[in-house]
Structure 1
Amino acid sequence: MKKFLLSFFGLFAIATAAFFIFAPSVFEKQTNMVDGKSLPPITPEAQELHDSLMIVDLHGDTLLWKRKITDSVDRGHIDLQRLQQGNVGLQIFSSVTKTPRGQNYDSNSADTDQITLLAIAQLQPYRTWFSILERQLWHATKLGRAVADSDGAITLISKPADIDGLSGNDRPIGVLFSAEGLQSLEGKRANLQKLYDAGMRMAGLVHFFDNELAGSMHGEKKGGLTDFGRQIVTDMEDMGMIVDIAHSSHATVAEVLKIARRPVVSSHGGLQAVCGVNRNLTDEEIKGVAATGGVIGLGYWDGAMCDTDPKSVAKAVKHVRDLVGIEFVALGSDFDGAVTTRFDTSGIVHITQAFMDAGFNEDEIRAVMGLNALRVLRQGMSPLKDLPKQAVEPTQESSQ
């Protein structure tokens, strides 16, 4: 019997170890995928232009997964090598802290959470198992470690002046810390300062469920801002943290756009005019974002574009350009965000090719691929007291 028990517990220990070693990577391989469908060849002209661009991606969820950004891996969409291959100049990494069981675009309760199990399976620090705030602070630590381990290849962006270092032939890749919903505040206003001190400079108010700040487009009530949410929006703008309306309900979007004193971002998503998924922006919401001087980051997965063809991204850009102007649209891939795309970050040149094929000129392509986003980041990270008055009072002219 003793031999049997020793054998049993030995096998159990091996099985347990194998689960914690292999399960997270297997799960990610099944979650963040490239569909492998055909893409048109890249012309020499498109490659030459692409290699000269400053490219900014407003949204990637790589910090959620058990791997280092500096490691080259055979899964997911983003790592340092693939950022370099894609000529990405600045990548915003968002922190996902809670997702509901049975997650869908229509209606989700805030009562369940799948990230707790993932945090345990990935053997994250114990403090992150049952605290959403600690999960977000852990993601900030992971990003900081990636910067430290990159031997100068990655640099953290936390103020407008940092963007100046992203130019030149030997430029590092900038990374900026964001949030996929501020449920991580755990209802406490003081926790926003903790996140800011950890490097956060942009944050979505909600994710797939209603929280203490606001209603989600995918929540049960889909209401607007709460009193706490209004206070947090004001605090974010005061300290230089950009407000992201991605995943917000229509009521929340309307209220944020009404009270905004700074450029507002929709970091990742699509447009109702191109893809009628509920999370995508209406024309009136597009006009509202433009009126703040903000940008709309367009994603590459079917929930944003109703397919994964880069041509659809070009079609969405054209719609924004014709409606409000080319200066209000940018890229927001949602890479590593439990989505399937046509290519990973090393293949962003396919977006450049699609823009050229759609007839956009060089200035328009440069604007959408990165310069529009850089403008908004510079404005949004500046402390409000340091901005000239006209820069914090959006005019109706910007939405024409």
Structure 2
Amino acid sequence: MRKLPIALLLLVVIGLGVFFSLPSVLDRRMNTVESPAPYPASPAAEQLHKTLFIADLHDDALLWERDVLKHLNYGHSDIPRMLDGGVALQVFSTVTKTPRDLNYDRNASDSDNITLLIMAQRWPPATWDSLLERALYQSQKLHKAAAASDGRLVLVNNRQELREFITAWQRDPQRLAGILATEGLHPLEGRLENVDRLYNAGFRITGLTHFFDNEVGGSAHGVDKGGLTPFGRRVVARLEKKRMLIDLAHASRPLIDDVLAIATRPVLVSHTGVEGTCPGPRNLSDEHLRRIAATGGVIGIGYWDTAVCATSVAAIVKAIRYTADKIGVEHVGLGSDFNGTIHAPFDATGLAQLTEGLQQAGFSPEQIAAIMGGNVQRLLLAALPEA
């Protein structure tokens, strides 16, 4: 009689151990690189790379239960590896929901992979059934990391703070500016006032949709793939009033059209590919490239295969060259999608290889400086709230 309860207890303990270790296993298996570090580049590329203000528009590290201040041997990035790679500014995105059986073509909104992941990662119970609380919790994680970073990670909320950071970075580049973004606006939970809650938590860039349609509008991977809803139009107006940048990554084509028809401020796409080098449901057409550039926006070119149709520096550079030729170098940036369950050619320490690839593609040092981060810096200095 006593053996059965002990056996059951052992099974429960083993089951819980497997459950709580699963996120780390998934993280290691889903955020991978083509080859491990180190990532050598030519002396000329290394020399130029050390002078660059590098900005990346999309990283999902906050989803995973890691200490971003520690150098890890898995995943794509953490603060030490970003600094080793020369990154000066990182947009940290918050993932709050993804559908089961996720695909690029058609996803309903009635399922969620993230709930079990965050429970296994021991997130607070308030996050288990609230997408808003999930976004706010990831904001808290980033704020706590900044507070514990001894000045290596500085959160930027406005233009004045960014100017101050740039001045400090020019004296000592071993520091990183962090900006908060949402991967879709389903955390609004249908309530316009939650825009203000996100703003007060430090969010300054807002993706409208992710892999499914939501209350704001259609996803490139959704069921209906529609444009802005009436609620979505109110949201866009509120975002512009608060000077929160709109991110059209993952947006359906009608949604892109609707936003561009009413936008009065620059619009960006944080991580994407372009149809001209890699056809796909979320990659931008030439027409959308031109119209986004006309707002003064920036296109962040991604590093993964469905964005650029290969896992290589050459494929990333090809997409950058195509985009620059179509709309001008001043509208192109980097959008890695690191830690977003992608297979990348390198981790954050390998960015000098991208600098070398741009040199080989014929870009001048000034153009490379713009692409690698100068364009994002200019956009944020123009578009963030003043103070």
TM bin (shorter chain): over 0.9
CA contact (8 A) 2:211 2:221 kept: yes
Match of 2:60 in 1: 61
CA contact (8 A) 1:20 1:123 kept: no
Distance 1:30 1:92 in 2: 23
Amino acid at match of 2:58: H
Distance 2:70 2:299 in 1: 30
When structure 1 is superposed on structure 2, of 169-178 and 84-93 the one drifting more is 169-178
CA contact (8 A) 2:39 2:349 kept: no
Match of 1:87 in 2: 86
- 1:95-134 equivalences in 2 (<5 Å): 95-134=94-133
Distance 2:308 2:374 in 1: 22
Distance 1:309 1:274 in 2: 13
CA contact (8 A) 2:215 2:231 kept: yes
**TM-score normalised to structure 1 length:** 0.93
Deviation string, structure 1 residues 92-113 (Cα, Å, up to 9, x no partner):
0000000001111100000111
Match of 1:389 in 2: none
| 1:40–1:135 Cα change, 3 Å | closer
CA contact (8 A) 1:268 1:296 kept: yes
Distance 2:34 2:316 in 1: 16
**Structure 2 counterpart SS, 1:56:** strand
Q: Which has the higher contact order (CA 8 A, sep 6+)?
A: 2
**Structure 2 counterpart SS, 1:348:** helix
| In the alignment, structure 1 residue 378 sits paired with structure 2 residue 381 | yes
Match of 2:42 in 1: 43
State the 1:38 CA deviation. 11
Determine which of 168, 171, 175 is the counterpart of 1:169.
171
State the 1:13 CA deviation. 4.2
CA contact (8 A) 2:60 2:95 kept: yes
Distance 1:72 1:149 in 2: 15
Match of 1:209 in 2: 212
Distance 1:38 1:180 in 2: 28
CA contact (8 A) 2:39 2:346 kept: no
Structure 1 residues not aligned, in runs of 5+ = 387-400
State the 1:115 CA deviation. 0.5
**Structure 1 counterpart SS, 2:35:** coil
Distance 1:120 1:39 in 2: 35
Amino acid at match of 2:281: N
**Structure 1 counterpart SS, 2:270:** strand
When structure 1 is superposed on structure 2, of 261-270 and 15-24 the one drifting more is 15-24
State the 1:373 CA deviation. 0.6
State the 1:350 CA deviation. 1.1
State the 1:49 CA deviation. 0.4
State the 1:302 CA deviation. 0.2
Distance 2:128 2:107 in 1: 22
State the 1:283 CA deviation. 0.2
CA contact (8 A) 1:277 1:303 kept: yes
State the 1:16 CA deviation. 3.7
State the 1:54 CA deviation. 0.1
**Structure 2 counterpart SS, 1:202:** strand
Amino acid at match of 2:375: N
- 1:1-400 equivalences in 2 (<5 Å): 1-5=1-5, 7-36=6-35, 41-164=40-163, 165-166=165-166, 167-171=169-173, 172-382=175-385
Distance 1:251 1:339 in 2: 26
Distance 1:39 1:347 in 2: 7
**Structure 1 counterpart SS, 2:203:** coil
**TM-score normalised to structure 2 length:** 0.96
Residue correspondences, number: 383
Distance 1:89 1:242 in 2: 20
Amino acid at match of 1:300: Y
State the 1:12 CA deviation. 2.9
Distance 1:23 1:110 in 2: 24
Distance 1:105 1:88 in 2: 29
Structure 2 residues not aligned, in runs of 5+ = none
Distance 1:247 1:334 in 2: 12
Distance 1:245 1:3 in 2: 59
**Structure 1 counterpart SS, 2:170:** coil
Identity %: 43
Distance 2:264 2:71 in 1: 41
Deviation string, structure 1 residues 289-311 (Cα, Å, up to 9, x no partner):
10000000000100110001111
| 1:41–1:153 Cα change, 3 Å | closer
Deviation string, structure 1 residues 180-212 (Cα, Å, up to 9, x no partner):
000000000001100000000001000000000
State the 1:39 CA deviation. 10
CA contact (8 A) 2:100 2:111 kept: yes
